[in-house]
Amino acid sequence: MAAVIGLWMTLSGTGVATAADFTLETATIADIHAAYKSGALTARKLVQLCLARIEAYDDNGPRINALIMVNPDVMEEADACDDDLKRGVIRGPLHGIPVILKDNHDTEDMPTTGGSVFLEGSIPPDNAFIVDHLIEAGAIILAKSNLSEFASSAQTNGFSSLGGQTLNPHDLERGPSGSSGGSGAAVAAWYAPLALGTDTGGSIRNPCAANGLAGIKPTRGLWSRDGIIPLGLSFDTSGPMGRNIFDVAVCLGAAVGMDTADPETARSAGKFMKDYTLTLSTNALKGARLGVFVDYAGADAGVRSVFDESCRRLESLGATLVEIELPEFILSRRSIRNIMRPGEFKAHVAQYLSTLGEGYPKTLMDLIEASENFEPGPGRLANPSRWAQFRTEQAGYDLDDPVYLSAAEHGPKLITGHLEALLFNHNLDAFIYPTNPVPAQRLDRDYSQPRPSSATSIANITGFPDVIVPAGTTPEKLPVTLSFLGAAFSEARLLAMAYAFEQSFPSRVAPASTPALPGESFSW
């Protein structure tokens, strides 16, 4: 359904509900709302359809293993949404929409574990700020998803000690990427229209690429990070993952807002929208100028082919492409993160752990000691590569160390300033690149061998937003996505351009391992 119809028109009665076909596998939020309004669908029925897919494909069948737990109160939440709708009460733009949370987002009524056996059963004191916002907007919290433990892949591919291994529904011998791999696999398998991920170096965008999804890593400060287990707050943000740009835009606007618990959100004052669907347009690429990151055009032949075709498609829609070669200090930016992130995790995770109840670790050193004394059992798996990384993080620079302070003060500013200068000097709307230079990786790959470098961490170091949209598949039918990277708080423009590309060249493919179930399509 076109974005110009608007969410409020669909549910409030100002739009016209006409006869239509509904297919769960392709339904947007607007389609779901239209079906609600017609009476052909209820939130209870939608949740039942989602739970049926979870039972068929996560618990049984291919056993994707994307989820850590399903919300035990989800049917009650669905019924409450239906009751409100019967009374003419519309909670917000996500009314009755099931959403999955990566299990590092705090929920006051369900455990939040970061995928770690050491936080098993830990119930935080309250919801994360953005979780409260989504609930206020009408979202139904369906489940918590698996993730790379403590949001760091550490030579694993969607694995955690509590959740185990998540599989990629497009190829069960490949991983979902990380660290938001459970969220990516869950949305690709259509357990829910939306999921939240977190991103410190590409952890929303890489799973979107591996699973063939739309998504966004927002500007740092657009969404609050309060109540999210941190990895490194100089780089962290949460963000939505979905199967189309429209849904991602709806979710993005539903959770914006300044939060005194996260001072970074003060940067967003006067710069956010409550409804990013208002600027979506199929003509958004006409006259656009896009800088092509030639250094990241795709290390895999299949990815490169899709990216080259995407560039031709962008030009056919009216965009002008400008080749951009990045200087060495940006190409070697990993050194900045390597100085900053280990020490930040040591400090920031201790701040988070201090809010948890008795019996849980309170410092990174406590986590190290717990890992050294760990005894595996059912549902409790060792995660040696991530736990070994604890030691590296413990040895990281303290946040008052001159080396850390110098890197934090000068490194991000140098890279941000250069990217801003490129945007200005070339009169660019955004940069583009293939989100991941290689497709989803096999679970049995040799992790000691380095992977080709991706451009994703540029967005984390600068705090810039990055929008991801499906662009095609490799000859092996593995998804490839296109990224639009722009200046801080340019989400509306990036989403509009990605939407124009998506609507003209729809490229999302359904995973073969999770086909439609009976009752998922109907007409009214």
Angle at 8 between CA 3 and CA 13, to 5 degrees: 120
Residues in the chain: 524
Distances (CA, A) of 487 to 175, 238, 254, 420: 31, 18, 21, 7
Compute φ and ψ for 488, nearest 5 degrees: -55, 135
Q: Is 203 among the catalytic positions?
A: yes
Active-site choice (102, 144, 217, 346) = 102
Which H helix or E strand runs over 72?
none
Question: Residue 21 carries which side chain, given as an amino acid letter?
Answer: D
Identify the three-state secondary structure at position 344. Answer: helix
Tell me which residue of 422, 499, 427 sits closest to 458, measured CA to CA.
Answer: 422
Cis peptide before 385 (omega within 30 of 0): no
**Which residues, 6+ apart, have CB-to-CB distance to 358 below 8 Å?**
none
Distances (CA, A) of 521 to 24, 35, 58, 159, 461: 6, 12, 21, 33, 44
Q: Is 483 among the catalytic positions?
A: no
Active-site choice (116, 145, 179, 371) = 179
E strand map for 253-339: 289-293, 320-324
Distances (CA, A) of 432 to 190, 206, 271, 313: 27, 15, 23, 13
Tokens of 25: 């596998």
CB 364 within 8 A of CB 345: yes
Q: Is 234 among the catalytic positions?
A: no
Tokens of 13: 């009665």
Active-site choice (180, 203, 268, 490) = 203
What residues are labeled active site?
102, 179, 203
